[in-house]
Homo-oligomer: A and B are copies of this chain.
Amino acid sequence: MPEPLRLGLAGLGTVGIGVVKILQNHAALVAARAGRPVEIVAISARDPRRNRGADVSAYAWEDDPVRLAMRGDIDVFVEVMGGSEGAAKAATEAALAAGKDVVTANKALLALHGQALAEAAEAAGRTIRFEAAVAGGIPVMKALTEGMAGNALRRVLGVMNGTCNYILTRMETAGLPYATVFEEARSLGYLEADPRLDVGGIDASHKLALLAAVAFGTRVHFEQVAIEGIERVSIEDIRLAADMGYRVKLLGVAQMTGRGLEQRMSPCLVPADSPLGQLPGGTNMVVIEGDSVGQIVLRGPGAGEGPTASAVMADVVDLARGFRVPVFGVPARALSEAPPAVQPAPAPYYLRMTLVDKPGALAKVAAALGDAGVSIDRMRQYGHAAPEAPVLIVTHKTTRDALDHALAAFATTGVVVGAPVALRIEAV
């Protein structure tokens, strides 16, 4: 029997316990696939006495994850503690310095310190694998890094935060406003301790930055993601967008253009009958577009004990098999610095505005759009009781610049009440 692959497991939250369960329940299956046994040697977590629904008494215990990471009797350091700084970072650095491979579910750590960690890994002849960090159980990093290796990637986009997708889906199906569904999600335990990580789009943007780096061979630059959360998505826009055949999704898009690398996370409209439009509740979806393969769509659970542990195990089995892909697909020093795109690629936009109900109001809006070079694809004016008329406009493809000029001009027309809503319509 070949030598076992020995794991040090840092973190016994949902994901850590999931990993313990898989290795306890499927030891033979994993060994057959990995070509050697895979075993947990030692564990580190906050409270050794807490009952976690799995028996961890057979494993050595380290109070300090840094000490765990440096143990001579482990080959792979599995980091499922979370947090971009502090113990998770120190322990990951210590593991690499001690010549261990690292498997992590920590998107924040890699989004913020990915380049330095990748260089440290390569200096030690090791790697960091992070399938569990992006889109939970979906094997998207593997698809992108290995499955699309023959493609120049064009665009990677998707829904990468299940909680936001739950909130938006629930708003539409139940007809409830954001604040109500947000409280529901909080009481159901769907939100992070700091909910801005979810609804502010930060968690999803960590994932997007990692996808972009691998897709385009560029250094990870989380701080260049243009982030807008879902806090201002109104039930009215969800309803009216549905009426026009769209759904609102918190969409992350990474795209290499002639004007640089675009990374943006924002509420967008997608066709209701597209795979992204059909995506329900807490599910995640990543769409990958390559020049040879065309469009590949991957859908699955984005979080939870089983799915995330499944992704961790995929990385562990790869390492047991001796597969070491560089952290971001190519050597860290070969990653390029792509200039960030100043503007997003042209797209159609959905505009909702309220007009004063008097003759010529619509003509003034149409003129302002025309003057800015924005042409109208579809327009809908709704019946109303009040003296102010809600108007929807779907534009043809336009630059954000031109659109912003038109929006600025609206203010001078004297017929637009309040600030118009503008949402990008992403082609998928």
A residues with a Cβ closer than 8 A to B are: 18, 22, 26, 29-30, 32-35, 131, 137-139, 142-143, 145-152, 217, 273, 275, 278, 290-301, 304, 306-307, 309-314, 316-318, 321-323, 325-326, 329-331, 334
Seed contacts A149-B314, A149-B318, A293-B300; 8 additional CB < 8 Å A-B pairs: A26-B150, A30-B150, A32-B330, A139-B148, A295-B300, A295-B301, A297-B297, A297-B298
A131 adjacent to B152 (CB under 8 Å): no
CA A304 – CA B292 in complex, angstroms? 10
Q: Which chain B residues lie closer than 8 Å to A18 at the CB level?
A: 292
B147 touching A314, Cβ below 8 Å: yes
Contact B137 A146 (CB under 8 A): no
Q: For A307, what are the chain B residues with a Cβ–Cβ distance below 8 Å? A: 292-294
From B35, B152, B293, B317, A150 is in contact (CB under 8 Å) with: B317
Assess the B152–A147 pair: CB atoms within 8 A: no
| A199 CB, min distance to chain B CBs, angstroms | 24
A138 contacts across to B, CB distance below 8 A? 296
Chain B residues in 8 Å Cβ range of A278: 273, 275, 278
Contact B306 A149 (CB under 8 A): no
**Pairs across A and B, CB under 8 Å, 27 listed:** A22-B292, A29-B152, A32-B331, A32-B334, A33-B145, A35-B331, A131-B147, A137-B292, A139-B142, A139-B147, A139-B148, A143-B143, A146-B314, A146-B318, A147-B314, A150-B314, A275-B275, A275-B299, A278-B278, A293-B300, A294-B300, A294-B304, A294-B306, A296-B298, A296-B299, A298-B298, A299-B299
Instruction: Give Cα A291 to B33, complex, Å.
Output: 16
- Which residues in B have their C-beta under 8 angstroms from that of A321? 323, 325
Query: What is the total number of copies of this protein in its complex?
Result: 2
The reply to whether B298 and A310 form a contact with Cβ atoms under 8 Å apart is no
List chain B residues, Cβ under 8 A from A273: 278
CA distance A341 to B273 in the complex (A): 37
The 5 closest A-B pairs by CB, nearest first: A150-B313, A139-B147, A149-B317, A293-B310, A292-B306
- Quick one: which of B35, B147, B300 contacts A142, CB cutoff 8 A? B147
A146 CB contacts on chain B under 8 angstroms: 139, 142, 314, 317-318
A246 CB to nearest B CB, Å? 16
Cβ-closest chain B residue relative to A33: B149
A139 lies within 8 A of B150 (CB): no
Q: Look across to chain B and name the residue whose beta carbon is closest to the beta carbon of A301.
A: B294
The residue that A300 contacts in the complex, of B291, B297, B318, with Cβ under 8 A, is B297
Complex CA distance for A382 and B291, rounded to whole angstroms? 49
Could you tell me the distance in whole angstroms from the C-beta of A299 to the nearest C-beta in chain B?
Answer: 4
A149 interface neighbour in B149, B298, B313, B334, Cβ under 8 Å: B313
- With CB as the reference atom, state the residue of chain B lying closest to A29: B152
Closest Cβ–Cβ distance, residue A27 to chain B (whole Å): 11
Tell whether, in the assembled complex, residue A30 and residue B149 are in contact, meaning their CB atoms are under 8 Å apart: yes
Q: Are B299 and A297 in contact (CB under 8 A)?
A: yes
Q: Which of B34, B150, B299 contacts A22 (CB 8 A)?
A: B150
What residue of chain B has the Cβ atom nearest to residue A150's Cβ? B313
